[in-house]
A and B are shown apart, each in its own frame.
Chain A
């Protein structure tokens, strides 16, 4: 019993540290890649290739003054960053990040908790993060924050539907909700290691997932809740210091989570030849991250009504159609 508790807590600590480091270096990756996509250089000063920049940024944010404006709802204002921060980390509890290994005579599963309803858990938890954003926008007592929060709630509700529908195709094919089993179904021994990935069976499902994931994580071109050019900084306009950085970390953790889920569902998770399984997983996640940054560098932000009509009139019918076709196909076979 004690062993199980010990192993689990070590895994939790390792995963949390890895995710937070991943978030920090995602900001570096974003600035560097965005820079190069725009013919600039990105950070170059702190350390070689600006690699120490996240540490410098973190230190700066810690030592900043924590301003609380006069007309905020004090309690809600204080807990809103936590509400969006915690669920973004919780997602990683069910994501398998490597092959089962034996260490010091113990069989160790490379996943914190192998839930049999893993994907449902992920989707339940990611929608919780919205409350943090909405509460932050409402409690800040600023019109920009309020608009950001309202937009976040409307956007999240609209895209949550298609987001959930986009993965039903995969679940129908795999006939399981467990992340571990999903990954194991996508592995082969042949040299064509990618031939059993679900992306080949569900290409439309994958595209839908990708689009909805961008909207779910409030990333450009769907970054309406933040919308720098219209709403200053959207829901976190009034936040400073560590509270602001909590929103920031949770945004990047959400991106990582969505990338990890995408890699697990459509690209075979940690499955891959030659390299260690954890490395394959990290590689796939960061390919997703690169794609997000690439999108941000390429497309302008949608107008609000465009966003809504796109969500309900285009994505939702397509997701339904994808589900219908997949279900029909499964029935025939």
Chain B
């Protein structure tokens, strides 16, 4: 008899509380991030994969001085210099072993030319260990950098009307 009364009391008093709790979550937005499709923005000072900067005219900033390689505690950077047609020094080979790198950012601090930076990119995977040796070409930023699409359209329009000066 006591069991019956307790059970009936539970059905009307306690079970609805539990059901209401779960139903509340049904109408909330799930906290799951749909990861490969949507990405969480990283912290502004996050140290991810390196990239090499250029000057505005497209020439490389890196002069292959070797200070980053000297600063590197993991000994992950290898470089060989060469000379351009103008007689300027630049890197022939510039490799970073991403498996050795500890992403400390010392290279970024050591660089006198402000050429190397650690970016926001954090997805490294490869089928082969050799694919983790990133070359200069892979790390250099694209030369005309990604442009504001509005600006691009504006330039096109000006070209049509025969105005050729640079913006």
Q: Considering the complex, which residues of chain A in the window 308-333 have a beta carbon less than 8 Å from any beta carbon of chain B?
A: 309-310, 313-314, 317-318
In the complex, the answer to whether A314 meets B7 with C-beta atoms within 8 Å is: yes
Which residue among B8, B22, B31 has the maximum number of chain A CB atoms within 10 Å of its CB?
Answer: B22
**Cross-chain contact of A37 among B3, B15, B26, B31 (Cβ < 8 A):** B26
Cα of A295 to Cα of B21 in the assembled complex, Å: 11
Give every chain B residue within 8 A of A310 (Cβ-Cβ): 3, 7
In the complex, the answer to whether A39 meets B18 with C-beta atoms within 8 Å is: no
Which residue among B15, B19, B21, B26 has the maximum number of chain A CB atoms within 10 Å of its CB?
Answer: B26
Closest to A291 in B: B19
In the complex, the answer to whether B3 meets A33 with C-beta atoms within 8 Å is: no
Does chain A have a CB within 8 A of B59?
Answer: no
Cα of A112 to Cα of B118 in the assembled complex, Å: 70
Does chain B have a CB within 8 A of A194?
Answer: no
Cα of A41 to Cα of B33 in the assembled complex, Å: 9
Q: Considering the complex, which residues of chain B in the window 1-59 have a beta carbon less than 8 Å from any beta carbon of chain A?
A: 3-4, 7-8, 11, 15, 18-19, 21-23, 25-26, 28, 30-32, 34
In the complex, the answer to whether B19 meets A294 with C-beta atoms within 8 Å is: yes
**Cross-chain contact of B23 among A40, A294, A318 (Cβ < 8 A):** A294
In the complex, the answer to whether B32 meets A37 with C-beta atoms within 8 Å is: no
In the complex, the answer to whether B30 meets A313 with C-beta atoms within 8 Å is: no
A contact residues, range = 20 to 34
Does chain B have a CB within 8 A of A175?
Answer: no
Closest to B8 in A: A318
Known A-B contacts A39-B28, A313-B4, A314-B4; the reply to A44 vs B34 at CB < 8 A is yes
Cα of A39 to Cα of B15 in the assembled complex, Å: 20
In the complex, the answer to whether B34 meets A41 with C-beta atoms within 8 Å is: yes
Known A-B contacts A294-B19, A298-B19; the reply to A36 vs B25 at CB < 8 A is yes
Give every chain A residue within 8 A of B28 (Cβ-Cβ): 39
In the complex, the answer to whether A39 meets B30 with C-beta atoms within 8 Å is: yes
Does chain B have a CB within 8 A of A38?
Answer: yes
In the complex, the answer to whether A298 meets B32 with C-beta atoms within 8 Å is: no
Q: Provide the A33-64 mask, 1 if CB < 8 A to any CB of B, else 0.
A: 10111111100100000000000000000000
In the complex, the answer to whether A298 meets B25 with C-beta atoms within 8 Å is: no
Known A-B contacts A298-B18, A309-B3, A310-B7; the reply to A35 vs B30 at CB < 8 A is yes
Does chain B have a CB within 8 A of A299?
Answer: yes
In the complex, the answer to whether B22 meets A294 with C-beta atoms within 8 Å is: yes
Closest to A312 in B: B3
Cα of A38 to Cα of B4 in the assembled complex, Å: 31
Cα of A309 to Cα of B7 in the assembled complex, Å: 11
**Cross-chain contact of A299 among B4, B8, B18, B30 (Cβ < 8 A):** B18
Cα of A309 to Cα of B6 in the assembled complex, Å: 13
In the complex, the answer to whether A207 meets B11 with C-beta atoms within 8 Å is: yes
Cα of A189 to Cα of B19 in the assembled complex, Å: 34
Closest to A315 in B: B7
Cα of A35 to Cα of B15 in the assembled complex, Å: 21
Cα of A44 to Cα of B4 in the assembled complex, Å: 44
Cα of A155 to Cα of B3 in the assembled complex, Å: 19
State how many angstroms separate the Cβ of A121 from the closest Cβ of chain B: 30
State how many angstroms separate the Cβ of A280 from the closest Cβ of chain B: 23
Cα of A44 to Cα of B11 in the assembled complex, Å: 35
Give every chain A residue within 8 A of B11 (Cβ-Cβ): 207
Cα of A218 to Cα of B113 in the assembled complex, Å: 70
Known A-B contacts A313-B4, A314-B3, A318-B4; the reply to A297 vs B22 at CB < 8 A is yes
Give every chain A residue within 8 A of B3 (Cβ-Cβ): 309-310, 313-314
In the complex, the answer to whether A298 meets B34 with C-beta atoms within 8 Å is: no
Cα of A46 to Cα of B72 in the assembled complex, Å: 45
Cα of A66 to Cα of B22 in the assembled complex, Å: 38
Q: List 19 A-B contacts (CB under 8 A).
A: A33-B26, A35-B30, A36-B26, A36-B30, A37-B22, A37-B26, A39-B28, A39-B31, A39-B32, A41-B32, A41-B34, A294-B23, A298-B18, A298-B21, A298-B22, A309-B3, A313-B4, A314-B7, A318-B4
Known: A36-B25, A294-B22, A298-B19. 11 other contacts (CB 8 A): A39-B32, A40-B30, A41-B30, A41-B32, A207-B11, A295-B19, A297-B22, A298-B18, A298-B22, A299-B18, A318-B8
B interface residues with partner A (beta carbon < 8 Å): 3-4, 7-8, 11, 15, 18-19, 21-23, 25-26, 28, 30-32, 34
